[in-house]
Structure 1
Amino acid sequence: MTWACGIDDCGETFEDVEDAVVHQTNEHTRRECAVCGVVVPDGYLAIRHAFNEHTRAEYVRAYGADSEEVRQREEIKDEIEAEADLQEVVERLNQAEL
């Protein structure tokens, strides 16, 4: 499976989902969460933050999202989490910070 970066018009593709998440974290602008104000990497990690830290209702209110947009992001989150070795992503991001 090939993974594509869905941020803006990036479209860069990756063989591994871990590469895609690391790319999103390192190569794209971080975003401020409209619910709580914390700054998070864009892409998967922003979606994960939104749905792990906030309710759907908070997300809908803060982002003006409809139910289809919520479902789409939940599907992206679930698909990535089913395939990704998130511990590897964390380790690679920590190494990049050194």
Structure 2
Amino acid sequence: MSPWRCGIDGCGTQTETVEELIHHQTTQHTKHECQVCGTIVPDGYFAIRHAFEEHTRAEFVRAYDADSEAVRRREELKTQIEAEADLEAVVADLDAVN
């Protein structure tokens, strides 16, 4: 598997596993405020998951001035991460840090 690369603000940090990437995004980047509802969530995967599980695609497009390509890209990332990641282990690891 090729390394995972952080795409937040041009960070570019690479990790060997998706779990390491999610941990990096959650602990090393500023939290994200959802432009639809104002909820504060970790940036990266958790922000994408929040946007697409809590809001409609239309709400996302309006709030972020996004286009269909931006929606598709984020949906693909979410699907790819969820297919590979052990999210329970990530949450347990993050809980242990806090």
What does residue 96 of structure 1 align with? 97
CA apart distance, 1:19: 0.3
Query: Per-residue CA shift, 1:31-73, capped at 9, x if unaligned?
Result: 1100000001110110000001000011011001000000000
1:16-55 maps to which residues of 2 (within 5 A)?
Answer: 16-55=17-56
The CA distance in 1 between the partners of 2:56 and 2:50, in whole Å, is 11
The CA distance in 1 between the partners of 2:97 and 2:69, in whole Å, is 35
Q: How many pairs align?
A: 97
Letter in 1 for 2:61: V
What does residue 75 of structure 1 align with? 76
Q: CA RMSD in A?
A: 0.5
The CA distance in 2 between the partners of 1:36 and 1:53, in whole Å, is 9
SS of residue matched to 1:8: helix
What does residue 15 of structure 2 align with? 14
The CA distance in 1 between the partners of 2:32 and 2:45, in whole Å, is 12
The CA distance in 2 between the partners of 1:58 and 1:9, in whole Å, is 25
The CA distance in 1 between the partners of 2:32 and 2:13, in whole Å, is 19
Q: Where does structure 1 differ by over 3 angstroms across 4 or more consecutive aligned residues?
A: none
Kindly, what percent of the aligned residue pairs are identical? 64
What is the TM-score of this pair, normalised by structure 1? Answer: 0.97
User: Which runs of no fewer than 5 residues in structure 2 stay unpaired?
Assistant: none
User: Which runs of no fewer than 5 residues in structure 1 stay unpaired?
Assistant: none
